């Protein structure tokens, strides 16, 4: 069905009140966007750190309502819910029907990482090469979670996992995917030979997407998902964390403690120029730390001292 779209500007401090008011009057969906996305000096937010919900200083809130919703009545209802907010700047637009969550999939093609790893949309035929007997194929539907393989930070981690598989490191190993998003890295590890995997994320949508993708790939019995507060404390021979440099630095003690002696770690979500700080933070626990770059992004990897 078509929709009525309402967009209202607000500050980060006001955002929870605006969003709550829109939801209270029956919004079908609410989306946040940077009010200055085109500004050359504006910093993009790709994924929040675990336990964080960072926002831009000034935002645009966009909500969808059924197309037949009267605009004047909607504004009256919003003012009644919270008359301390300024709804006079709200703008309306009629939006044609579309499957918003699936629209991007039309442009999403299968991707190969390393020698054996393939990420294939769940509704796409297997391409040539992905049908090989030793191919590690992940059938993916990211849903609303971060992680489709198209971003360089994810690609760097997939290439690293594929390399570990070539060395035999993943064979029957347990793997921790910290900041799992869609579950793409944990799933790839399992398809490459890992025995079990654990995914941790602070976003409930990410935990849902990871669980759904695990079922889609037939590995739900080998992949467990947890919020950070519920994560059982274990050590793993392989740990991968694709979050942000600031979160990697803040969580260094936690992540280092999850790596078994002699185990391997990969840290991604690091912009070029931030890798030295990450390396310095982890050098007290890890040897052979190295940084690899793809476009503007870095991956730091190393091995835990025995």
User: Known binding site for S-adenosyl-L-methionine: residues?
Assistant: 154, 179, 201, 242
Q: Is-contact 267 278, C-beta < 8 A? A: yes
Return d(Cα 86, Cα 18) in angstroms, integer: 9
CA distance 233 to 78: 45
User: d(Cα 113, Cα 119) in Å, to the nearest integer?
Assistant: 8
Question: Is-contact 112 137, C-beta < 8 A?
Answer: no
Note whether 263 and 236 are within 8 A (CB).
yes
Rounded Cα–Cα distance for residues 288 and 19 (Å): 47
Contacts of 72 (CB under 8 A, 6+ apart): none
CB-CB neighbours of 50 under 10 Å: 23
- Cα gap 153→155, rounded to integer Å: 5
- Residues flagged as binding site: 154, 179, 201, 242
- β-pair type (236-242, 297-304): unpaired
168: CB partners within 8 A, 6+ apart: none
Q: How far apart are CA 172 and CA 232, in angstroms?
A: 20
Strands (DSSP E) found in the chain: 3-11, 29-34, 58-66, 91-95, 111-113, 117-121, 136-140, 174-178, 196-200, 223-226, 236-242, 259-271, 286-294, 297-304
């Amino acid at each position: 069905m078509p929709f009525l779209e309402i967009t209202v500007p607000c500050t980060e401090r006001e955002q929870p009140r605006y969003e709550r008011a829109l939801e209270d009057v029956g919004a079908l969906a609410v989306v946040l966007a940077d009010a200055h996305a085109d500004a050359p000096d504006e910093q993009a937010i790709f994924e929040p750190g675990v336990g964080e919900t960072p926002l831009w200083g000034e935002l645009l809130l966009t909500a969808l309502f059924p197309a037949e919703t009267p605009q004047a009545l909607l504004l009256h209802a919003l003012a009644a819910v919270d008359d301390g907010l300024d709804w006079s700047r709200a703008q309306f637009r009629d939006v044609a029907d579309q499957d918003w969550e699936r629209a991007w999939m039309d442009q999403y093609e299968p991707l190969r990482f390393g020698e054996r790893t393939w990420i294939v949309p769940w509704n796409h035929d297997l391409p040539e090469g992905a049908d090989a007997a030793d191919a590690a194929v992940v059938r993916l539907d990211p849903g609303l979670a971060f992680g489709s393989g198209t971003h360089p930070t994810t690609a760097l981690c997939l290439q690293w996992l594929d390399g570990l598989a070539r060395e035999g490191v993943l064979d029957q190993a347990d793997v921790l995917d910290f900041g799992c998003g869609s579950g793409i890295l944990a799933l790839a590890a399992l398809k490459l030979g890992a025995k079990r995997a654990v995914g941790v994320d602070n976003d409930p949508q990410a935990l849902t997407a990871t669980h759904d993708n695990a079922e889609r790939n037939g590995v739900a019995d080998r992949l467990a998902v947890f919020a950070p507060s519920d994560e059982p404390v274990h050590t793993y021979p392989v740990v991968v964390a694709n979050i942000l440099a600031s979160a990697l630095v803040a969580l260094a003690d936690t992540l280092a403690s999850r790596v078994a002696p002699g185990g391997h770690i990969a840290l991604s979500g690091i912009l070029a120029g931030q890798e030295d700080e990450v390396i310095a933070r982890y050098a007290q626990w890890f040897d052979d730390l190295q940084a690899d770059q793809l476009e503007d992004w870095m991956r730091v990897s190393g091995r835990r001292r025995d």
